């Protein structure tokens, strides 16, 4: 057996020789992102390997497979795979002896991540599913669900009735604790979705669950355990007992809903893309693996389609889109670009595979929204102005910063309409000195040691083209033009941090709509709250969802041509 010590995390694990460092990290509970699915192409799982004193010098302690090291302070021009150690990709490196591993992950990053907890609140009458009646003669409190007794509690606990909404994002999780006697949100907690360590987007997670032995169980237990940890955090902060939480509302995309309930998502990845879960129902909390009241349950909101999930159902509810009299585009920008068009009392929904570019995960210097991430970038008279999260020295680019950088460079002509970086010798602005090479490829120096490469720009093009083409397809299906829209709602944690000008500059939103943009926040969470507070909303949205037309973009005539057309900036 070999022993691998993850130094920063203070975790050791034993295993048989020949296993990858990434696999060992997962076993040890060390968070390590592999957005490329362990293909050795994204460069996000760099680690420093140091062999232990006393290892035999004649045998390699670790073996490095083919890998590509990209970006950041951890990259080296060359390195050895001998016993002295070096920087390698964890997914591509197999271990044959005792080693110490230093991860390239900032151990404080998760603590400083910007995750949006707020959204548009609804004024709803309180009508929750669980009620409590104290029986003084027997000194017990009867707990009722939908008017039927489900359990008894010793003493008077009638005023202790709580619910939790969990917004299950592909990248982030947000849990909100509600007092069900008043409908008031008490507090929230947030975290990274631990499934990111195994696969970055929904398609990758579907494939991971289908193609790896125990893959579904691994993804399910990872997120289930994090749900329970977040609930524990909420309880510790407030002094509330888990046993007095009776209902949890899940809101997330369709794939996340499957994985959170340990349901095989295989059908979501195969035509005709039929969900195994349709939502609009409850399941016992124990079946979902949640540590709350034994009489508790989980509400699963109605599913719109395989790739437009309950998070959008919740958004349609909390934004009031379902009863809108205007022509409104609702857009949730993230790993997936999910959107709904409301026009003349009719709703159309679709989803585009934007990929992880806007989350920074296949961008050379992309990173989460933590300390040191460039979140704001502006050009004024060819002078760069930027801001980082936490005011720290720049070390990478998060999603909002990526939008700003690309948008400003397009506006300045540094990025041409085709997506190519302008040649340095043809650039007449003071920014020419920032046009350089990174690892032999064309790049723009955003800050000292941080670059936007030509390959990054192509990733941005693909993502923004997918979303814009989806918008145009929905408009075309409804025989509308962009200037027919009265409002554009931008939803979600990521979208909330974007600037309208940047959305226009890179071409996701056409210029004529810039003044019509409204940021509506985390509507997935606030819609989830509404499902808890007032059970009438459940039947209402179950009915409305059945009326939404789901557009499968692969079936839309000319979508490929539309996608190519929208690649230009």
DSSP per-residue codes, 389-440: GGGPPP-EE-HHHHHHHHHHHHHTTSB-TTSPBPPGGG--SGGGGGEEEETT
Residues 6+ apart with CB under 8 A from 271: none
Cβ(2)–Cβ(165) under 8 Å?
A: no
d(CA 433, CA 158): 69
Sheet holding 93-95, edge to edge: 19-20, 93-95, 62-64
The encoded tokens of residue 166 equal 């969990």
| Chain mean position to CA 302 | 20
- Give the three-class secondary structure for 46: strand
Instruction: Please report where in the chains the tokens 């299906």 appear, as a residue.
Output: 477
pLDDT value for 78: 33
Give the distance, in angstroms, between the CA of residue 82 and the centroid of all CA atoms in the same chain.
Answer: 38
The answer to whether 310 and 322 have CB atoms below 8 angstroms apart is: no
In this predicted structure, what is the pLDDT of residue 483? 94
pLDDT score for 122 = 60
3-state secondary structure of 264: coil
Tokens of 182: 């008043």
Nearest alpha carbon to residue 489 among 537, 527, 538: 527
| d(C-alpha 217, C-alpha 188), whole Å | 27
Q: CA 228 → CA 109, 284, 516, distances in Å? A: 21, 15, 40
DSSP letter for each residue of 273-290: ---S---SEEEEHHHHT-
Yes or no: say if 548 and 347 are a contact pair by the CB < 8 Å rule.
yes
CA angle, residues 288, 293, 295, in degrees to nearest 5 = 80
Q: Return the pLDDT at 429.
A: 85
At 538-555, the pLDDT tens digits run 999 999 999 999 999 988
Number of helical H runs and strand E runs in the chain: 14, 29
d(CA 545, CA 456): 37
For tokens 């990259």, what's the residue?
A: 75
Contact in structure between 185 and 122 (CB atoms under 8 Å): no
Q: Which 3 state secondary structure label does DSSP give 81? A: coil
CA–CA gap between residue 171 and residue 195 (Å, rounded): 8
* Beta bridge partners of residue 352, listed in sequence order: 337
**Residue 365: per-residue pLDDT:** 92
Give every CB contact of residue 337 below 8 A, 6+ residues apart in sequence: 331, 351, 352, 353, 354, 463, 466, 467, 470
Give bridge partners of residue 189 from the DSSP assignment: 175
User: Which residues, 6 or more positions from 186, have their beta carbon under 8 angstroms from its beta carbon?
Assistant: 162, 177, 178, 179, 234, 238
The pTM of this model reads: 0.81
d(CA 513, CA 508): 10
Confidence (pLDDT) at 542: 96
* pLDDT string in tens for the chain (569-residue length): 888 888 888 888 888 888 888 888 877 778 777 666 666 767 778 888 877 655 544 345 666 554 444 443 333 333 333 334 467 888 888 888 888 888 865 545 444 444 444 444 566 889 999 999 999 999 999 999 999 999 999 999 999 999 999 999 888 899 999 999 999 999 999 998 999 888 878 888 999 998 889 999 999 999 999 999 999 999 999 999 999 999 999 999 999 999 999 999 999 999 889 999 999 999 999 999 999 999 999 999 999 999 999 999 999 999 999 999 999 999 998 777 899 999 988 999 999 877 666 766 678 998 877 889 999 999 998 899 999 999 999 999 988 899 999 999 999 999 999 999 999 988 888 899 999 999 889 999 999 999 999 999 999 999 999 999 999 999 999 999 999 999 999 997 666 678 999 999 999 999 999 999 999 988 999 999 999 999 999 999 999 999 999 999 988 999 999 999 999 99
Q: In this structure, are residues 376 and 391 in contact, taking their beta carbons and an 8 Å threshold?
A: no
């Amino acid at each position: 057996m070999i022993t691998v010590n993850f130094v920063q995390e203070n975790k050791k694990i034993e295993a048989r020789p020949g296993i990858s460092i990434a696999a060992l990290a997962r076993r040890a509970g060390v968070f390590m992102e592999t957005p490329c699915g362990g293909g050795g192409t994204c460069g996000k799982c760099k680690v420093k390997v140091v062999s232990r004193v006393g290892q035999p010098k004649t045998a390699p302690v670790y073996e490095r497979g083919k890998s590509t090291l990209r970006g950041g302070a951890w990259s080296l021009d060359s390195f050895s795979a001998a016993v002295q150690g070096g920087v390698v990709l964890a997914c591509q490196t197999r271990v044959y002896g005792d080693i110490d591993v230093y991860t390239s992950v900032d151990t404080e990053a998760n603590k400083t991540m910007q995750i949006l907890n707020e959204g548009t609140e609804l004024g709803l009458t309180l009508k929750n599913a669980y009620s409590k009646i104290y029986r003084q003669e027997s000194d017990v409190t009867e707990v009722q669900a939908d008017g039927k007794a489900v359990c008894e509690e010793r003493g008077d606990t009638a005023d202790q009735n709580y619910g939790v909404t969990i917004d299950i994002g592909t990248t982030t999780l947000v849990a909100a604790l509600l007092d069900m006697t008043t409908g008031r949100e008490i507090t929230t907690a947030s975290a990274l979705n631990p499934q990111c360590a195994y696969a970055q987007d929904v398609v990758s997670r579907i494939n991971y669950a289908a193609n790896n032995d125990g893959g579904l169980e691994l993804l399910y237990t990872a997120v289930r355990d994090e749900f329970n940890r977040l609930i524990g955090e909420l309880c510790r902060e407030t002094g509330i007992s888990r046993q007095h939480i009776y209902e949890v509302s899940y809101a997330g995309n369709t794939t996340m809903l499957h994985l959170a309930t340990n349901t095989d998502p295989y059908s979501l990845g195969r035509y005709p893309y039929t969900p195994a879960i349709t939502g609009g129902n409850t399941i016992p909390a124990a079946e979902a693996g949640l540590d709350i009241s034994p009489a508790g349950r989980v509400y699963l909101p109605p599913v719109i389609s395989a790739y437009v999930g309950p998070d959008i159902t919740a958004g349609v509810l909390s934004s009031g889109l379902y009863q809108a009299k205007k022509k409104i585009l609702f857009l949730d920008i993230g790993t997936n670009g999910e959107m709904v068009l409301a026009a003349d009392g009719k709703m159309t929904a679709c989803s585009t595979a934007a990929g992880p570019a806007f989350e920074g995960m296949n961008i050379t210097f992309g990173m989460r929204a933590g300390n040191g991430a460039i979140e704001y970038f502006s050009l004024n008279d060819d002078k760069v102005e930027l801001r980082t999260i936490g005011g720290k020295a720049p070390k990478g680019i998060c999603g909002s910063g990526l939008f700003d950088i690309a948008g400003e460079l397009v506006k300045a002509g540094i990025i041409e309409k085709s997506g190519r970086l302008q040649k340095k010798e043809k650039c007449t602005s003071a920014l020419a000195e920032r046009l350089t090479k990174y690892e032999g490829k064309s790049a723009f120096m955003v800050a000292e040691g941080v670059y936007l490469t030509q390959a990054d720009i192509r990733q941005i093009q693909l993502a923004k083209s997918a979303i814009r083409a989806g918008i145009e397809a929905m408009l075309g299906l409804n025989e509308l033009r962009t200037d027919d829209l009265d409002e554009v709602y931008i939803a979600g944690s990521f979208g909330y941090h974007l600037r309208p000008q940047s959305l226009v500059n890179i071409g996701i939103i056409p210029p004529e709509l810039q003044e019509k943009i409204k940021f509506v926040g985390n509507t997935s969470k606030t819609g989830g709250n509404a499902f808890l507070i007032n059970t009438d909303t459940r039947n209402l949205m179950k009915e409305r969802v059945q009326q939404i037309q789901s557009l499968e973009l692969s079936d839309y005539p000319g979508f490929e041509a539309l996608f190519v057309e929208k690649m230009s900036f």
